[in-house]
Structure 1
């Protein structure tokens, strides 16, 4: 199993076409895992998905890889690359403190969630993100790509004990780092 000690996680960068295709291959699994995680955590620790407490399941997973996978990092392993991705969740709008902005997301006539722009570019500092890890085994295509996990942040103090911090949806300011959940 790969750990941070034995891999070299490359720098964050915009996804190339191979990464986009790999994430598209497992997009349905990512969306299913988000909803399953949300429902599971809501049973025993609702703080984990509290940023989505006013968001419907449909709106929570109303993203596309082409438009909303904004950053990736790759770690080469002997069994193929691990790809970590940062996916924009358009329904989760944050204020400058990283808190949910009350209200429903604005949708167009087709039900697609609209995004706020700054100088014609999406202002990612206004949105929440889900961090995803996938595995792309060796081979030519993406047919063997596997969804691995979602990052859920359970804050720990210096002694390794939980400090009552839980967050599955991250602000853009949180760097995409190695995780092994």
Structure 2
């Protein structure tokens, strides 16, 4: 498995057609994982998805790759390409502005997009106290949150 030290991500940029196509292959999985993560965290730490409080599940995942995939980065590895994407959640608009999720997918080599796989959604357990326990939780990012490598 790759780590931030082992890969070189390209600069953040607007998605090209091939990135949109790759995200469309796993769009259903991304939406299902957002809802699964939201329901899990709502039972354990509601702060993680707090920016989506009061938003219906169907509205939360009412996004498309063509319209709402706003930024991507990628890096080659020996086992394919890691692709990070910043997806706007149109239903999330609050005092912090628009809401976004950061998603990681993987495209193995030599087979086109047919074998693209969803990897994960970034759920930031940011700042930690002296005991090592998180004091901040954030699954919905702001526009200013940089799209960086994550391995969750």
Query: Normalising by the residue count of structure 2, what TM-score does the alignment of the two structures yield?
Result: 0.96
How far 1:158 sits from its partner (Å)?
7.8
Segments of 5+ residues of structure 1 without an aligned counterpart are 99-125
Q: Give the equivalent residue in structure 1 for 2:28.
A: 28
C-alpha distance in 2 between matches for 1:160 and 1:171: 28
Does 1:147 find its partner at 2:118? yes
Kindly provide the CA deviation profile for residues 123-161 of structure 1, in whole angstroms up to 9, marking residues without a partner as x.
Answer: xxx310010000001124200000000000101338682
Contact 2:10 2:75 in 1 (8 A): yes
Q: Give the equivalent residue in structure 2 for 1:42.
A: 42
Q: Give the equivalent residue in structure 2 for 1:54.
A: 54
How far 1:75 sits from its partner (Å)?
1.1
Partner secondary structure for residue 37 of structure 2: helix
Contact 1:94 1:171 in 2 (8 A): no
How far 1:164 sits from its partner (Å)?
1.4
Greater per-residue helix proportion: 2
Give the total of aligned pairs.
152
Contact 1:60 1:91 in 2 (8 A): yes
Partner secondary structure for residue 39 of structure 1: helix
Q: Give the equivalent residue in structure 2 for 1:16.
A: 16
Q: Give the equivalent residue in structure 1 for 2:140.
A: 169
Partner secondary structure for residue 154 of structure 1: coil
Query: Normalising by the residue count of structure 1, what TM-score does the alignment of the two structures yield?
Result: 0.81
Partner secondary structure for residue 133 of structure 1: strand
How far 1:81 sits from its partner (Å)?
0.6
How far 1:162 sits from its partner (Å)?
3.0
Kindly provide the CA deviation profile for residues 21-45 of structure 1, in whole angstroms up to 9, marking residues without a partner as x.
Answer: 0000000000000000000111111
- Structure with greater Cα Rg: 1
Q: Give the equivalent residue in structure 2 for 1:108.
A: none
Contact 1:155 1:162 in 2 (8 A): no
